Amino acid sequence: MNPGGIAFLSWKHLSHRPMRSLTLVTAIALTLFFPRALQVFISESEDVLQERARSTPLLVGPKGSSIDLTLNSLYFTPQQLPPLTYAAYEKLSRQRFGTTIPMHSRFRAEDAPVIGTSLAYFELRELMVDSGRMITRLGDCVIGAQLSARKNLKAGDTITSSPENVFDLAGVYPLRMRITGVLAPNHTADDDAVFVDLKTTWIIEGLAHGHQDLTDPGTSGAPRESGEKVVRANASVIEFNEITDGNITSFHFHGDPGTYPLSSAILVPRDQKQRALALAAYQDKDATAQMVIPLSAVTDLADTLFATQRLALAAFRLLGVAALGLASLVFLLSFRLREREMLTYAKIGAGRILIGTLKAVEVTIVVISAMILARVAVSLTRSLATDLLSRFLN
Amino acid sequence: MKHALPGSPLTLALLLISCGEEEKQAESHGGGSHRPVIAAVSYPLAYFAERLSSDFATVLYEVPTDQDPAFWEPGDEQIAAIQKADLILLNGATYAKWVSTRTLPGETTVVTSSSFRDRLMETEGTLKHTHKEGEEAHSHDGLAFTTWLDFKQASAQASEIALALGERFPERKSTVMTRLDALLEDLNNLDTGMATATSGLGNAPVIVSHPVYQYWARAYSIVAPSLLWEPDMELTPGDMAALARIREEAPGATLFIWEDDPLPQNIEKLKRIGLTSVVISPCGNRPESGDFLSVMRANIAALQALSN
């Protein structure tokens, strides 16, 4: 019998019992897919984490877990550490090690993180405005491409910051922000974030606000204390929840700016010498802030992932052996059931080699189909790894 | 042995490469096709920047001449242009109120009064308010901001600008420093001239029409109680009563200082009660004629004329 005939007979048998064939293909494909997918996911995750960490030379933040600080600053995960003070940030800036970029990522809007920062952040991440324009004032924001697509938001729309707790009426200040632009995608956590001026996050925090002119006799709730040059505003004085051309001049800050909070600060040293000096400056055990090398923190995280990966791979290998054993059993039983069919082949002149080849071709078709399916699934995993990682982190 | 001749293709290629490199360097350091832009929030800062960098940079100063730069509100497009500047010169001391509500790049922003920030003066007599019980009362007026009327402070601001220019454009540093010497000499002459002119006024208080002369008064040891008058406003009986109260608090004043030429009838009204009007322009905005130096020289001349 020619090879075409053997393939035809094998195919006919496999398609005659489609459920059995599909189950076999799927079982073998999954057995091949899981360990490889885990490897690919962890490898891609490591690459993605390291790429972003590499473009963030140094981080300064409050003392605590360096991984929490790094993930919060790079992936805008919920802030676990206490805040860094603005005084600490100013001190870092004054030391002139290089470019300092403030980061404040405590708040959210439409489930997306609101990142208070400076214009230098956009340069660091090479973020370009795709449509609209860059922020120019308090209350302005630019949003990531993915957020724009997901929420159907564009330049000219508004987005409101979310209260942290709906029952905390005196808590963070919901602020309606003007979207001035949408950023071009860079396939990182930036694509799903809202970027504002650092001072805007302080307005959301309630450290700055705008209200009616209290010296205006027409303003309700502005009684003047007799004998003193002090006006005590009561609850009827209207505070603005949106910054407009008309009320922007009324916005002002309260308290000592040195105590205002930040999540962290990115430091881009001018050169290796400044990097070494910066690292040395934060070695003091009494320092209230720590300096972290994000790449080291991410490498530590990757090492933990690798340890987990080794355990998972061992488990997958055992499962794989069991699954392949089961598949072999299915084939053997199947061939046992088809003994009469094989006898018929022998009676019409097929030799033992031909019958063996027929069986081998059937097994090969199933295995190759499973391998192709597993390969496709692994490729899909590779392309989705970045998004999956972002989702896991958030 | 063959040598590359001056006109050979290899020499030409090397020349083209080296020219390209020079252009790149020039562009990155303020030369070439990209002319650096230096934004300033007040005219004195723009003037200092022009004196120090006019041959290699363009000074961006867009405040209309009929507006006070301290309270001018720029539009979004103007902010976008300022954000792109290679250097942004701020006065500090809460001058240019818009700065606190706009987004500016920290790396290129220079607060020119930072070297004397511990000597900035708080404004007095403004209405304070609180929002809730127990909160400390505060006002939104902040600090006195006409820092340059003390010419020693003006010199410090000019030096800060020169330092920033030298850091930003290192290849221009020596030129900038040479020009700074000349500028500092001019400012020093103004300081000496103003000290001489004000010494002729004696110890009598000088009443000023607007609260913008705090640093001038401190620098030249002058008692200068302030009103809140504009040069082009018609004086009402209420205004005259306020003036009378100030004269009671600071007796002996014979001189009244205006920011700009007052209405003739106002000069007459003050003259009738024994006050001589004189214009000391703070020159916060670009003058219609002349420049910062000529306006300040005119201020000194006006004071000297009183002594003669």
pLDDT tens sequence across A20-67: 889 889 988 988 898 888 888 888 878 878 888 999 999 999 999 999
Chain B contact probe: residue of A136, A175, A214 with most B CBs at under 10 A: A136
Q: Which residue of A has its CA nearest to B129?
A: A231
Note the pLDDT of residue A8.
85
Please answer yes or no on whether A136 and B83 come within 8 Å at the CB atom: yes
Share of chain B above pLDDT 90, in %: 76
Q: Is it the case that residue B25 has pLDDT exceeding 50?
A: no
Strand, helix or coil at B307?
helix
What's the pLDDT at A229? Answer: 52
Number of helices followed by number of strands (H, E) in chain B: 9, 8
CATH of domain B31-119+141-190: 3.40.50.1980
- Residues A137, B73: C-beta atoms closer than 8 Å: no
- Give CA–CA dist B235/B220, Å, rounded: 29
Nearest residue on chain B to A268, judged by CA atoms?
B107
Residue in chain B nearest A197 by alpha carbon: B103
State residue A256's pLDDT score. Answer: 87
Can you tell me the distance from the alpha carbon of A236 to that of A251, in angstroms, rounded to the nearest whole number? 18
A331, A349, A351 from A344: Cα distances, Å: 19, 9, 11
> A248 contacts in B (CB within 8 Å)?
73, 101
Cβ-based neighbours of B164, under 8 Å, separated by 6 or more: B87, B89, B110
Contact between A232 and B133 using a beta-carbon 8 Å cutoff: yes
Indicate the residue type of A67. I
B81, two tokens: 């242009």
Note whether A231 contacts B129, CB cutoff 8 Å: yes
Residue from B221, B176, B213, B208 nearest B52 by CA: B176
Pull the structure tokens for residue B42. 């007040």
Which CATH class, in words, describes the domain spanning B193-307? alpha beta
Residue A217's Cβ-count burial label (10 Å; 0-12, 13-18, 19+) is exposed
For chain B, the structural domain boundaries read 31-119+141-190, 193-307
Q: Which of A119, A230, A231 sits opposite B103 (nearest CB)?
A: A119
Query: Of A78, A194, A201, A197, nearest to A146 (Cα)?
Result: A194
The identity of residue B288, as a single letter, is: E
pTM: 0.79
| pLDDT-wise least confident of A193-197, B165-169, B205-209, B228-232 | B228-232
B61 CA to chain A: closest CA distance, Å? 17
Identify whether the C-beta of residue A200 lies closer than 8 Å to the C-beta of residue B103: no
CB pair distance less than 8 Å for B107 and A137:
no
Q: Tell me the pLDDT tens digit for each residue of B220-252.
A: 999 999 998 999 889 999 999 999 999 999 899
B250, B225 in Cβ contact below 8 A? yes
pLDDT of residue A17: 83
Tally the residues of chain A. 394
B chain contacts of residue A214, beta-carbon cutoff 8 Å:
127, 129
pLDDT, position A47:
82
Which chain A residues have a beta carbon less than 8 Å from that of B84?
Answer: none
- Reported ipTM: the value is 0.79
The answer to whether B110 touches B164, Cβ cutoff 8 Å, is yes
Q: Tell whether B134 lies on the interface with A, counting CB pairs under 8 A.
A: no
Q: What does the alpha-carbon distance between residue B46 and residue A238 come to, in Å, rounded to a whole number? A: 39
Same fold, B31-119+141-190 and B193-307: yes
CB–CB of B105 and A254 under 8 A? no
Distance CA(A77)–CA(A69), nearest Å, equals 9
Hey, are the CB atoms on B73 and A120 less than 8 Å from each other? no
Nearest to B130 among A215, A230, A252 (CB): A230
